[in-house]
Structure 1
Amino acid sequence: MLWERSKKVVAKDIFARGFNCSQAVIGVFCDELGLERESAFKIATGFGGGLRQGEVCGAVTGAIMVIGLRYGHHCEGDNEAKQETYKLTNQFIEKFKEKHKTIICKELLGYNVANPDEYAQIKDKQLFTKVCPQFIADAVEILQEMEQKE
C-alpha cells in the first residue's frame, strides 16, 4: 500500500510541477517499462486537456500509453498481444468510468479547455488543482490494481 500511495503522490507532484495529466500518469511508470522520462513526457505532451479539445482525459490517455508500453503489440502478426492490450484498455476505461461516469475531459471538468471563455472559468475555479489530481491518482491506482491481478 505504501508503494501505491507513493506512485499516486509522485504523479500528483509531476502534475503540480506544470506537466499535464497524461505526462503525470506515464511519468510514474515509464522508467520501469523501459521508456526514458524525457521521451515519455514529450510523447504525452499533446494528450493533456483531452487532446487539447476537452475529449478523452489526459489521465486516461496516459494510462492507456502505460498499458501499451507494458503489453502492446510490437511484432508483426502478434495478434495475441494486440487483443490483450485492447482488453486491458477496455477494462481500464470501465474502471475509470465506474469512479467518474465518463472519460471525457470536458464532462469531468464541466468546462471545455478548448473554449477560451470556459478555459478561463476552469482557471478561475482552480479546477486543474482541485479536481485533476484526483483523476491522475485514480488512473495510477487503477493501473496498479490491474497489475496486481495478473
Structure 2
Amino acid sequence: MNKHIEKATQLRNATPMVNNCSQTILRVYAEELGLDENLAAGIAGNFGGGMKCGSTCGAITAGFMILGAKGIESPFAVNEFRRRIAEKHDGMTDCAELLRANAQKGGAKKPHCDNMIFEAIELIDELTKEAE
C-alpha cells in the first residue's frame, strides 16, 4: 500500500475521527512539504464538507493545494486532476451531489469520503511522479 494512503487510513480510522477529507490529505503530505501537521489541518479545516457548504469536495480542493505546493500549477495538470476524479463519479465534483448520489445507492458517508481521499491521493502521487 502507498505510504500516503496508509497515513490517510490511520488518520481516518482514529477514534474520535477529527479530520475532514481536506485535512486528512494536507496532514498526509505536511511533513514532505515542510509544514507542521496541525498548521496543515488548520489551513484545510474550512475546505471540508465542500467548503462547509456542499461545494467542491474537500478531497479535490486539498488535491489542488498539494499539487500547487509541489509546483504543479499548469492548467492542464490541474484540470486533468479534476476531470479524472469527475469521470469516476458521473461528472460530479461537489460534496453535496457526491454524498446524495452515494446515499441513493445505499452507501454510507465515511467509506465514500475515505474512497474520495484515496482516489485523490493516488492521482496526486501519479501526477507528481509524471511531473518529475
Which TM-score bucket, shorter chain as reference?
Answer: 0.7 to 0.9
Match of 1:11 in 2: 8
1:95 aligns with 2:84: yes
Match of 2:43 in 1: 43
Give the CA deviation at 1:31: 1.1
CA deviation profile, 1:109-140 (whole Å, cap 9, x unmatched): 007xxxxxxxxx8xxx8833221100000000
CA distance in 2: counterparts of 1:144 and 1:89, whole angstroms: 13
Give the CA deviation at 1:87: 3.0
CA distance in 1: counterparts of 2:33 and 2:75, whole angstroms: 18
Match of 2:61 in 1: 61
- Asked whether the 8 Å contact 1:20–1:48 carries over to 2, the reply is yes
Q: Which segments of structure 1 move beyond 2 Å, counting only runs of 4 or more? A: 84-88, 125-128
1:147 aligns with 2:128: yes
CA distance in 1: counterparts of 2:75 and 2:30, whole angstroms: 20
What percentage of aligned pairs have identical amino acids?
Answer: 31
TM-score normalised according to structure 1 size: 0.74
Give the CA deviation at 1:8: 1.2
TM-score normalised according to structure 2 size: 0.83
CA distance in 1: counterparts of 2:113 and 2:34, whole angstroms: 27
The amino acid that maps onto 1:97 is A
The amino acid that maps onto 1:91 is E
Match of 1:75 in 2: none
Q: RMSD in angstroms over aligned alpha carbons?
A: 2.0
Segments of 5+ residues of structure 2 without an aligned counterpart are: none
CA deviation profile, 1:74-116 (whole Å, cap 9, x unmatched): xxxxxxxxxx3433221110111122232110111007xxxxx
SS at match of 2:52: helix
